Chain A
Amino acid sequence: MPFVGFVACTILVFYVVPKRMQNVVLLAASYSFCLTFGWPCLLLLVSSTLFNFLLPMFYSSGRRNPRNLWIVWLGVTVNLAGLIWLRWATLSSGVVESGSSLLTIAGIGLSFYTLSAIAYLVDVYRGQVPKVTNLLHFALFMAWFPKLLSGPIERVQILLPQLTASRIVKDQDVSQHLLLIFQGVFRKVVIANWLFALLPSNAWTQPEQFHSVELIVFPFLFAVAVYNDFLGYMSIMRGVSGLFGIKLSRNFHLPLSSRSFTEFWTRWHITFSEWLRDYVFFPLTRSLLKRKLPPQSLAVIGLPLLFTMLGSGLWHGFGWNFVVWGAVIGCVQIGERIHTVRRTQASNQVGSRLIYIAAVLAVIPAAVCFNTSLSNTFDYCLALVEFSMMSYSRNRFAVFLLWLFPPLLANIVLDRMDESSSTRFVSTAFPAKLRSLAISAGVFLILIISQADSHPAFVYEEF
């Protein structure tokens, strides 16, 4: 609710001040938002902004100038060092469990805006984007509050033109963005929270308390819950940003309907996947290919994928569980890639099915690793393969499935709405202003009924 008030006040001031002052208002609002998490958070954001703004000023002219390579490496190292130091310090002081400390506070949003900053430094070095010479625009690019906490990880070439252009928000756009907020709130407050509530708190730590069928269902239940939690957050923030005439990138594209792990990662947390692809996977693959390694060798196929997914794991958190999480996902993708490269007509059908089954099964250890330590993950998998039916109660499981049905159905309906023109049909049946009013009322109704302030935070805020 305080966030709703904050957005409303910012919109009011934004539309009252002259156009040339609008970006100043947005930056002030973004810094105020950051400040609500404490001075360390703002200090780190401002330091990172100044460092990444000033560094490209030292680049010499000419694309891919060797001198610039040293500067870009310095920039990447400093940015990554900050991220690694915070992750390491957070882990070693054990504040992950307690949930708040100076380090946790300072690090809010760091993993997201640091990746945007690295992309900027590298792209300027490659000559893909010009240096940003206006500090206000660059500061707003880094700090824009709807993307500050959990992304999307925007590129300067996508966001900056919107920050510098004159923005016009029509009534029609307002109702579309409000609808996005409504869908986001519904996904978070109704679907995600419902699914998380169905997941027993000791599911990952005491697997022996549950029968094997439940142990198979929990990881998939968690995956759908996180999907709705994160997509809900993204929809809300894309909607809020749109109210100011700034469109944020889409971060999800029906990932649950993917036919492979490889496809899944092009549809899930898209801006992060694309960042990994552009700054880790492709450079590594190109480097190996230039060393004249056979393109179909295990080294060329496997190493970049494994390294990329291990990097993805460590980005989520320092811990062996995240290393294993990355390795599991990396190995499945390597299997899929080898199958694609080396398939023959005869082995095609069987191989495809086996790879698909392996990918689906890999969700289980991956989801458990994501939530708990390695030893707990091992116990979980052990309990699962023992196929214990000791605590099995048909009635209990039937009730569980019954409770599972409504949020899953709602998830499917919302996914279809995202893709079909039904959203447009619903939203054009009434005048734009009336639609906006009705949707806003819907958002408030959900927030009030569900006592939104008492809900758990978004999962990806932790990263």
Chain B
Amino acid sequence: MAFDTDALIQQVTTFVRTDLMERADYPLRPDEPLITSGLLDSFSLARVAVYIEEELSVYLPDSELTVENMDTVRQMVSQIEQWSDKE
């Protein structure tokens, strides 16, 4: 399954801003740290995983839901692309 990376970044950014941070006007950058900076906590990764599974039909394994792998929107998108290839 191939994704348009820019569109994917936009989609995930919108989800993070509106659903997780509840700050739709926040100027979130793709490389901005989310968890290590305290904008989100690591428990939010479960919500990211469920969103990706339901909206994009890509299953991210639980062991990949780590701060190292998913601290920025770009890293999240990279995980989506990596695991969509394995579907």
Contact = CB atoms under 8 A, between A and B. Distances in A.
Interface of A: 63-64, 123, 126-128, 155, 262, 266, 274, 277-279, 282-283, 285-286, 289-290, 295, 301, 337, 340
Interface of B: 19, 41-43, 45-47, 49-50, 53-54, 59, 61-63, 65, 86-87
Contacts of A290: 50, 54
B46 A286 contact: yes
Contacts of A266: 42
- Chain A residues touching B, majority SS: helix
Given A282-B49, A286-B49, A290-B50, A128 B63 contact: yes
Contact of B62 (A64, A278, A340): A278
23 contacts: A63-B86, A63-B87, A64-B59, A123-B61, A128-B61, A262-B41, A266-B42, A277-B62, A278-B62, A278-B63, A279-B62, A282-B46, A282-B49, A285-B46, A286-B46, A286-B49, A286-B53, A289-B47, A289-B50, A290-B50, A290-B54, A301-B43, A340-B41
Contacts of A128: 61, 63
A155 B53 CA distance: 24
Contacts of B46: 282, 285-286, 289
Contacts of A155: 63
B84 to A, nearest CB: 13
A337 B41 contact: yes
A282 B65 contact: yes
A278 B47 CA distance: 14
B50 A286 contact: yes
Contacts of B65: 282
B41 A126 contact: no
A278 B46 CA distance: 11
Q: Which 9 A-B pairs have the closest CB atoms?
A: A282-B62, A285-B46, A289-B50, A278-B62, A278-B63, A340-B41, A128-B61, A286-B50, A282-B46
B63 A285 contact: no
Contacts of A282: 45-46, 49, 62, 65
Contacts of B42: 266
Contacts of B50: 286, 289-290
A149 B54 CA distance: 41
B43 A337 contact: yes
Nearest to A290: B50
Contact of B86 (A123, A127, A277, A279): A127
Nearest to B87: A63
Contact of A285 (B43, B54, B59): B43
A182 to B, nearest CB: 30
Contacts of A127: 86
B41 A283 contact: no
Nearest to A304: B46
Contacts of A123: 61, 63
A277 B59 CA distance: 17
Contacts of A301: 43
A282 B49 CA distance: 9
A283 B62 contact: yes
Given A289-B46, A337-B41, A337-B43, A126 B61 contact: yes
Nearest to A279: B62
A337 to B, nearest CB: 6
A152 to B, nearest CB: 15
Contacts of B19: 295
A444 to B, nearest CB: 39
A294 to B, nearest CB: 11
Contacts of A279: 62
Contacts of B63: 123, 128, 155, 274, 278
Contacts of A337: 41, 43
Nearest to B44: A295
Given A123-B63, A277-B62, A283-B62, 6 more contacts: A266-B42, A278-B63, A282-B65, A286-B50, A289-B47, A337-B43
Nearest to A266: B42
A127 B85 CA distance: 12
B86 A295 contact: no
A214 to B, nearest CB: 36
Contacts of A289: 46-47, 50
